[in-house]
Structure 1
Amino acid sequence: MSSIPSPDLSDRTPVHRHHVDGFGEVRLVPVDPDADLDLLYAWVTEERAKFWGMNGYTREEVHETYTFLDGLTTHHAFLAVLGGRPAALFQTYEPEADPLGECYDVRPGDHGVHLLIGPAHGGQPVANFSSGLIIALIDYILTDPGRRRIVVEPDARNERAIERLRRVGFVLGPEIDKPEKRARLAFLERADAEAAVKAVSHR
């Protein structure tokens, strides 16, 4: 995995920092569609990222997608940075402004997320790599008191991701049909999210 290019993130101002005990500090920085294109293209087109739904995209299509997202006020993309290196791609969105909003009954305060875990640093497994990143990202979502419930919709075939979410505390909902996939809804109420963060973190 060392051949995957890593953008220089040293001068990019984080929107959030969070320390997970035994894991380290995770910083969230906004995606720059131009500067991050090599990394984004490498990550989203890997076979391991097949459930992300962009395996067949060209570099130009990846760039167009994230440039479009960058211009929206309802959808945002971030890189989660651990030890100075990108560790995950994190996207947030308002369900009522997304096609997902047509697939379930959106509640006030719902906040949708997508998460693509990057390759382990140095290609070596890192203890609690996925769960540590998820906790840091949940903590960011909680910074807005208006966000009352986190909504995710992984591919229904992605058993590893679904189990990962369940371990954090997400409650599994029904499967839904979207144009690009059959997805499994899962929800994390704010109180449960706060408890999950408190159990393993300090600010």
Structure 2
Amino acid sequence: MTVFTRVDDRLGEFALRTLDPDADAPLLHAWVTHPKAAFWLMQDADLARVADEYRRIAAHPHHDAHLGLWRGTPAFLAERYDPAHVDLVGLHDATQGDVGMHFLCAPTDTPVHGFTRAVITTVLDWIFADPAVRRVVVEPDVRNTAVHALNAAVGFTVVRPIRKPEKDALLSICTREQFRTATRGDVPA
């Protein structure tokens, strides 16, 4: 079921649909175990572990996952979560209206210029479409310099480094206004 659609001026239609943990597991397995997905921390996962992880997310009251489509073809993964209950408990002073986010672009041998930025813009448009959302919170690995630059380009500011059990991360936040200013897009108020 499609839950959000955005048309990028240059790259066309992006959409998000609810993830089906069982049907989508083979595709996700190929993505999360690919060498380009090292920061996803599932390099050694087998198909059963990937399906179990996304079943767990689907059942969680404060976490969900969506499959992203580009021109109708699966091309990225997006997760959103409540940072007061998932991933950042005790590491971030979550306030009303905070939403956590993860995204992963499918590996490709033929990269498209601007694709990853179009994906993160789509994911943030989707999250900010909910008027209750005030800020998006992320915690990328400190070594992931490419995503730090991308985050800055769409309006995130680094709050501070944090230590998570699985990684050292940069806690970063983007308000609706920061996103609107950075993208100059038509973002819901």
Q: Cα distance, 1:86 vs. partner? A: 1.2
- Return the structure number with greater relative CO, CA threshold 8 A, min gap 6: 1
Matched, 1:78 2:66: yes
| Aligned 8 A contact 1:135 1:196 in 2 | no
Q: Cα distance, 1:128 vs. partner? A: 0.6
| Alpha-carbon distance between aligned partners in 2 of 1:158 and 1:108, rounded to the nearest angstrom | 28
Q: Report the counterpart of residue 7 of structure 2 in structure 1.
A: 19
| Alpha-carbon distance between aligned partners in 2 of 1:179 and 1:148, rounded to the nearest angstrom | 27
Matched, 1:133 2:135: no
Percent identical among aligned pairs is 36
Is there any run of 5+ residues in structure 1 with no aligned partner, and where? 1-12
Equivalent positions of 1:45-64 (< 5 A) are 45-64=33-52
Question: How many pairs does the alignment contain?
Answer: 187
Q: Report the counterpart of residue 183 of structure 1 in structure 2.
A: 169
User: What amino acid is the match of 1:25?
Assistant: E
TM-score by length of 2: 0.94
Q: Report the counterpart of residue 141 of structure 2 in structure 1.
A: 155
- What's the RMSD between the two structures over aligned residues? 1.5
| Aligned 8 A contact 1:77 1:92 in 2 | yes
Q: Cα distance, 1:119 vs. partner? A: 2.3
How far does the alpha carbon of each residue in 1:52-83 deviate from its partner, in whole angstroms, 9 at most, with x for none? 11112121111110011111221010111001
Q: Cα distance, 1:195 vs. partner? A: 3.5
| Alpha-carbon distance between aligned partners in 1 of 2:76 and 2:171, rounded to the nearest angstrom | 21
Is there any run of 5+ residues in structure 2 with no aligned partner, and where? none
Q: Cα distance, 1:200 vs. partner? A: 7.7
| Aligned 8 A contact 1:142 1:194 in 2 | no
How far does the alpha carbon of each residue in 1:72-99 deviate from its partner, in whole angstroms, 9 at most, with x for none? 2210101110011111110000001113
